[in-house]
Amino acid sequence: KVADILRGNPQTELFYSDKNSDAATEQKLREADLDLLVFGGTRIVPPRMFNLPRHGSINAHPGLLPQARGSLPVAWSIVKGIDMGVTLHKVAKELDAGKTIFRDRLELLAAATFDEAIAASC
């Protein structure tokens, strides 16, 4: 998992917010003077925030892009009958459309529950 990998780096600061577009979160990101922002499991992050880091931002998206773009990719993968997985991509102005860095298909049993699919993709 991305957080586990980053947690081992002494230059990494982990920050969690459930209000990803509010003024307090934006101020914290500005004060952090980031080289790179990695996020996932969030709602849409506005450009004024994802453009703050010197090298941009990366999103850990819980779906295979481009097929599972947008919100609720696990649910839509089930509804559409498409493979589930995770994609790391550069964040761009258009939602879930930045350059793909990494994709991995998840092997799930057909009888997997929705909660098991969510846990596997995050």
Structure tokens at 22: 């509010």
Residue listed under structure tokens 């057909």: 110
**Average of per-residue pLDDT across 22-27:** 90
Q: Determine how many CB atoms are found less than 10 A away from the CB of residue 52.
A: 16
Of residues 1 and 69, the one with the higher pLDDT is: 69
pLDDT bracket for residue 112 (50, 70, 90) = low
Mean pLDDT over 89-111 rounds to 87
Residue 72 near residue 92 (C-beta atoms within 8 A): no
Tell me, what's the pLDDT at 31?
A: 92
The neighbour count for residue 43, using CB atoms within 10 Å, is 9
Most confident of the ranges 5-19, 77-91, 107-121: 77-91
Which backbone phi and psi does 102 adopt, to 5 degrees?
-155, 140
Q: Are 24 and 32 in contact (CB under 8 A)?
A: no
- pLDDT value, residue 3: 64
Task: Identify the pLDDT of residue 5.
Answer: 65
Average pLDDT over residues 75-87: 87
- pLDDT, one tens digit per residue, over 36-74 is 998 887 678 899 999 999 999 999 999 999 999 988 898
Pick from 94, 97, 6, 3: nearest CA to 41: 3
